[in-house]
Structure formats: structure tokens, C-alpha cells
Amino acid sequence: MTDTVNLGLPCIEGSQAQKHVTHNDALRILDTLVQLAVLDRDLTTPPGSPSEGQRWIVKTGATGAWSGHVNAIAAWQDSAWQFSTPQSGWCAFVVDEGTLLLWNGTAWGDFFSTVTSIQNLAMLGVGTTADSTNRLSAKLNNTLFVAKTVAEGGDGNLRYKLSKESSSKTLSFLLQDNYSGRAEIGLTGDDDFHFKVSPDGTTWYEGIKIAAATGAVTFPNTTIAGGQLAGFRNLLINPHGRINQRAVAAAGLTNNTYGHDQWIGLTQSAGITPSTVSDAENGTPRMWRLSQANVTAQRMGYVQWIEGANCKYLRGKQVTLSGRINFSLNAAVRYAICEWTGTEDTPAGARDIVNSWTNATFTTGQFFKSATFNVLAVGSITPAAATLTDLTALTATVGNSANNLIVFIWTEGAAAQNATLAGALQLEQGAVATAREFLPYSTELTLCQRYCYVYKAQTGSAVAMILGGAVSTTLAAYSFCLPVQSRVPFTGLTVSAVAHFFCYDYIVGGPQNATAISLAAATLDVASLLVTVASGLTKGGFGSLNSQNASAQLIFTGAEI
């Protein structure tokens, strides 16, 4: 009687008696080997009480009834052991390990370690279930990729290759927190390399961008050391009130007039007092301060208009307002970023942006005025009384029609007499508030002198300030170069007191006390004065305008917004 080649099934001979015996033997072998699942592969001694049909793979070193049948399939059939010798390609599932084995002709090994190619799988899930969106899914704690060494036939390198269809598509790594996006790295919508983050999976901020064409690195939402890795990142001039050329007197800052350079005081009813706080704390060497000097409680604030030349490039971009304040009351302080869409640098009567101090709706036409003016963002903070406090950073997107940006900070409620509000603010490009910037004093002063120039005697009396000559015996003309080019030619002159000045004629001497001083003309670089005296000048003679005392000063105005 012969057996089949692959499974060793006994064949029935044509003239064989008791054919059912041979047939049943073949069925038993089929029952053993078809859908092969063994209980264990680690036994060397046959189990003492096997059940009918149970199967094992015989381990090396087997004894007893299993001796001589290493690697065979041992099946308990009809109260006896039946052994089947494996053939190359046989597979067996090991129940106690939950693994699938493959006989390679020499030994049993892990089925998947012998698979050298799996092609065109529609889905694959490792430790989880893949779906139509995530066709390759894995639920793991660690993943390892190792380069194939030269000794193994590789080149020792490991390179991941990911490709998208076209430039406008996205190729990225999306990092999630409980399936909500928090960071994304890759080619998102173009061929530049982007690094983005999100606080909620909906709103995204780009931190780093590397241009594919040039390799240039930019920080779209971070202005480190100013702008794009440069200086002057604070768009506000004199943000800490360090420069106070006018030195406005107590209660002398009335509504819609300049106090500290570049800062305009806005008041509800009466004048307030501007001053400067020195050494407020480590890291805050200066702060501007407003003191509510009126007996009747009132609201007050400071506003700065930013010249169009310094902010129009920000159209469509984000800006962030931050800072440090100290309010003597435990009460709300409001702050806002606004934009002017009217004629650039020409707010005219709209420089005072408050429509109604008592209106609690902080929009245009309500608290704010409405003509060619937009409120981009409003913030609020209630600090502890007389405590240095950081503003909660306020971010806004500049409109496409903005010609000037405006920063305003004010007391939301009426402040009692002697209440004070001090601040040091920063407005910068991007959605991130960076550390406050501090410029050298000379730089800060120069920036301010573009808009207002105060020419003052630096010492006592009889100091020659400006050179010129006599037009007549009673009139002299003096010209001098401005220290910095003004925004527009100065149109106004405020004199500390005419009595603080005298003319000195280098021919006949002097002094000839001034009786009148006026601005004759000005360009962006030069200012010319006319000074009247009672008599004593030599027509055509050379001379100088001198100070009578250290209080002498000339304030050139008209170049501010």
C-alpha cells in the first residue's frame, strides 16, 4: 500500500480488504494536519493525560513515546500517538504562544520572519485597527528603525523618503494630544519647511519657516531681538517714558496734548500730571506715570500713534501688545490695539480716539470714535493695588487698509484724586510677546527728536546757543541744524520765556535782551529764528542768541502726528 507524497495519507488498493480502515487512517491524518493548531512546542516528555485529537510539536531532547520524533507533529488518536513529519511550507499555530510557525525544511520558525515580501496591502494595523482614513495604523510604545549594515549587504545609511503629489499639497508630521493637533512639521501647502504649533488643534501659529528657494530662516510669530533677528522690535517710541522733553507741569497735561515724548494724554474732564518712575524694579528701570490731579474722580489714559512709515508694512500681519503696569488702585485697566484707515499720519481731530468715556462697549461708535478707525483688540486686567503687574498679552491682525497703528491704555473706571497709573509697554510683530526691549538713551532721544525737539541751555547764564546775524538794529536772524531730520518741517515754537534769552552782538557787545522770538522758517534739517530786541544791534553784524539762565529752552513742534 502506498502513501500520498505531501501528507503521507495511505491510499486504498484496488483489491484491498477492509478499505474503511485505510480510509479512516487517512481521515485521522487529515484531521491532524488540516487547520493545524498545536497546544505547545516546548515539551520533551509526552503529556500524561492527553485528550483525543490534541497535538504538539515535539521538542529536541524528547523522551518516552516521543523519542526519535523531534520536530514532528504528535497527535493523540485512538489512544495512541500518531506522528507526522513536517514538510517545507507547513504552518502551525501554537495556542499557548498565540503565534504562527513555519517549517522551513530544517526548523520551525516564526512565520512572519520568513516572509520576504508583502505587496499591495490595502490596510495594515499593528496593535490596532486600520481604517479607510488611516490605512497604516500602529498602537505602540516604542518603534525602532536600524540601518542595514554593509556586512549585511546594505550601505549603513538610513533615509526616510516621503513624497507628496505637488507643491500645493501637504506633507507633514502632525503631533497630537488625545487626537487634537498641537504641532505640525513639514511642507504644508508649499515647498517651504514649516514648524507650526496650536493650543487647541484649531488655531495654528507658525514658529519657524525655512524658504525652499534660499534656505533663509524666518520666525513669523517671534521677533527675537526685534523684527526678524534685528533691533528695534518695539514699534512704540519711548515706551517706558524715559524721554520727557517737555517736562509738563503738574496738572498741565490736558486732554489730547502731548506729555512724555510720543505719548498723548487723554482725560475725561481735567488735566493730569505726567512723570517718570525710576528703578521701579530690576528689569524695569523706567516707567511713565500719570497722576490724577483733579479733585473730581475721572478716567485717564495714554495713547500713542505710530507713524505710517513704521507700521504700514504690517498690513495683514499679527502684532502683540504686552507690558508692565502699576495702578495704585485695585481696579480694571483697559488697553487696546487700534488702526487708522484715514489719511496717513493725519488724524486731525480724531487724535483723541475716545467717543464716550462712560460707554462700556469697547467698539467703534460706542466707547471709541468711528470715522476711518478700527478697534483690532481690547484687553483688560485688574491688578492688585500698587503692584507691578504684567499685562496679559494682546494679539491682533492688522487690516489691509491700516495707515497708522494706535496703542491706548486707560483706567476703565473713574480714578480718584492722586490715583496713579504707570506703564512700560511693547508692541511688536508676531503673536508672541517677547522680553521688553531697552534701547540706548541716545537712540531713544534721537527717535523722539524726529517729532519734537527741545533746545535747552545745558548750563547757567550767558551760554551761546545759536549763531546768526543782525538784520537791523532791532532784529536778528539765527539758524541751526537740527540734530535729526524731522518727520515734517517744524511749524511751531514754544519759548520757555522771552526773558530767558538775549542777543549778543560781536561788534558792539551786549547783552541786548530779547523782546520776542519766533520761528521764521524750517526745513527737515534746519530751523531759523527771528529775535527782536529794543535796540543795540549792528545791522549785518555777527552775533549769537544766548541764554540768560539754565531755564532757557525752545520747543519745536508741529512734526508730531
The full DSSP string for 492-521 is: EEEES-GGGEEEEETTTEEEEEEEEEEEEE
* Closest residue by Cα to residue 409 from 248, 263, 194: 263
Q: How far apart are CA 521 and CA 481, in angstroms?
A: 12
AA identity, residue 222: T
Residue 387 CB coordination number (10 Å): 11
Q: Which class is domain 257-446?
A: mainly beta
Question: What distance in Å separates the CA atoms of residue 262 and residue 159, rounded to the nearest whole number?
Answer: 57
Distances (CA, A) of 501 to 110, 141, 315, 356, 543: 104, 84, 48, 44, 13
Give, for all 561 residues of the chain, the pLDDT tens digit.
577 766 667 777 767 777 766 667 666 777 667 778 899 999 999 999 999 889 999 999 999 999 999 999 999 988 899 898 898 888 999 999 999 999 999 999 998 887 778 889 999 999 999 999 999 999 999 999 999 999 999 999 999 999 999 999 999 999 999 999 999 999 999 999 999 999 999 999 999 999 898 887 777 776 554 444 456 889 999 999 999 999 998 899 999 999 999 999 999 999 999 999 999 999 899 999 999 999 999 999 999 999 999 999 999 999 999 999 999 999 999 999 999 999 999 997 789 999 999 999 999 999 999 889 999 999 999 999 999 999 999 999 999 999 999 999 999 999 999 999 999 999 999 888 888 889 999 999 999 999 999 999 877 677 889 999 999 999 999 999 999 999 999 999 999 999 999 999 999 888 999 999 999 999 999 999 999 999 999 999 999 999 999 899 999 999 999
CA angle 234, 238, 239 (to 5 degrees): 55
What was the pLDDT predicted at 3?
72
Q: Is 276:288 a contact under the CB 8 Å cutoff?
A: yes
CB atoms within 10 A of CB 136: 10
The conformation of residue 258, written as its DSSP 8-state character, comes to E
* φ, ψ (nearest 5 deg) of residue 513: -60, 135
Distance CA 89, CA 98 (A): 19
**pLDDT score for 226:** 43
What is the torsional sign of CA 247, 248, 249, 250?
negative
Give the H or E element holding residue 544.
strand 542-547
Set of cell numbers at residue 418: 492722586
Q: Measured between alpha carbons, how far is residue 421 from residues 244, 294, 409, 452 in Å?
A: 17, 14, 10, 24
* pLDDT at residue 350, rounded to an integer: 80
How far from chain centre, in Å, is Cα 57? 64
Residue 20 has a pLDDT of 64
The residue behind cell 499593528 is 126
Query: Which of helix, strand or coil describes residue 61?
Result: coil
Q: In what order do the strands lie in the sheet with 264-267?
A: 257-258, 264-267, 300-306, 404-411, 333-340, 373-381
Instruction: Note whether 266 and 248 are within 8 A (CB).
Output: no
Predicted confidence at residue 227, as pLDDT, reads 43
CB under 8 Å to 273, separation ≥6 — which residues?
248, 249, 250, 251, 252, 253, 290, 291, 293
Residue 246: the pLDDT is: 92
The helix/strand/coil state of 19 is: helix
User: Would you kindly state where each structural domain of the chain is located, as residue ranges?
Assistant: 35-113, 170-218, 257-446, 450-557
Q: Identify the CATH assignment for 450-557 out of 3.30.1460, 2.160.20, 1.10.287, 2.60.40.
A: 2.60.40
Backbone angles phi, psi at 261, to 5 degrees: -50, 130
End-to-end CA distance of the chain, in Å? 114
Residues 301-322 as b or e (16 or more Cβ within 10 Å = b): bbbbbbbbeebbebeeebbbbb
DSSP 281: E
φ, ψ at 289 (rounded to 5°): -140, 135
pTM listed for this prediction: 0.64
Would you say the C-alpha torsion 528, 532, 536, 540 has a positive or negative sign? positive
Q: Which residue, 354, 394, 393, is CA-closest to 373?
A: 354
DSSP assignments along 293-342, one per residue:
--SS-B-EEEEEEEPGGGTGGGTTSEEEEEEEEEESSSS-EEEEEEEE-S
Question: 461-495: string of b/e by CB count within 10 Å (b at 16+)?
Answer: eebebbebbbeebbebbbebebebebbebbeebeb
Sign of the Cα torsion 47, 53, 57, 63 reads: positive
